[in-house]
């Protein structure tokens, strides 16, 4: 059991028959009245985000999320195939289960497949990936006085804002949690 006073970002718990992950939380102590915890919760199965307020003493059962490393194999148009690296079993997942988690993942990359009580609900890519820039406009000297950026398309099809000195064919490191350019690889 976890009390609302112990909430932190990323914690998962069961509430009203669903499993929620805390996206944002804020402990509020008003001048009058009792303290409360304002939260933004994401339903891990449906992906819906709700806002809910709890008393700090309320307790909820903690949900155990299983994270299993699997290799992303390929996409056949509607299903995405993942392989267990120990048993070599393949797991097909559809787009609704994945959301946009695979926009920085290329074939043969190892990801974590998330499940709750045997039901798969998502994929967690590695925090940082190295991808090749396939399309970007050339940057010109004198365009700006400070660090300007331009849009670039990487090999997975995702768009990333990069500095002006990045060219097509360069390999860059991207933070998959924010989609931000980190450095040239």
In order of their start, the domains of the chain are: 2-60 (2.30.30.30), 66-124 (2.40.50.140), 128-184 (2.40.50.140)
Q: CB of 54 within 8 A of CB of 37?
A: yes
Each residue's pLDDT tens digit, 85-114:
899 899 898 877 776 778 888 889 999 988
Which residues have C-beta within 8 Å of that of residue 48, sequence separation ≥ 6? Answer: 42
Percent of the chain with pLDDT over 70: 95
Rounded-to-integer distance, Cα 181 and Cα 163, Å: 8
Considering only CA atoms, which of 40, 55, 52, 51 is closest in space to residue 5?
Answer: 55
Residue 61 DSSP label: P
pLDDT band at residue 69 using 50, 70 and 90 as cut-offs: very high
Q: Strand 128-136 vs strand 110-116: parallel, antiparallel, or unpaired? A: unpaired
SS3 state at 144: coil
Structure tokens at 133: 């820039």
Strand 128-136 vs strand 159-163: parallel, antiparallel, or unpaired? unpaired
User: Dihedral sign, CA of 156, 121, 65, 88?
Assistant: negative
pLDDT, mean of residues 155-171? 89
Q: How much is the pLDDT for 145?
A: 57
- Give the global pTM: 0.70
Residue with tokens 């004198």: 142
Residues in the chain: 185
Least Cα distance to 42 among 57, 52, 28 occurs for 52
Nearest to 97 by CA among 75, 71, 123: 123
């Amino acid at each position: 059991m976890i009390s609302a006073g112990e909430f932190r970002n990323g914690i998962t718990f069961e509430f009203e028959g669903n499993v929620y992950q805390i996206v944002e939380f804020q402990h509020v102590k008003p001048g009058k009245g009792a303290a409360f915890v304002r939260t933004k919760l994401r339903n891990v199965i449906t992906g819906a985000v709700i806002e809910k307020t709890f008393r700090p003493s309320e307790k909820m059962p903690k949900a155990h999320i299983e994270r299993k490393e699997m290799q992303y194999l390929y996409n056949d148009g509607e299903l995405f195939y993942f392989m267990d690296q120990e048993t070599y079993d393949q797991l097909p997942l559809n787009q609704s289960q994945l959301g946009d988690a695979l926009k920085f993942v290329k074939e043969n990359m190892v990801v974590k497949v998330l499940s709750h009580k045997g039901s798969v609900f998502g994929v967690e890519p590695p925090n940082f990936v190295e991808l090749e820039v396939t399309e970007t406009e050339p940057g010109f000297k004198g365009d700006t006085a400070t660090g300007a950026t331009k849009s670039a398309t990487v090999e997975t099809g995702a768009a990333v804002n990069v500095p002006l000195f990045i060219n097509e064919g360069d390999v860059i490191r991207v933070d998959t949690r924010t989609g931000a350019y980190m450095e040239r690889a």
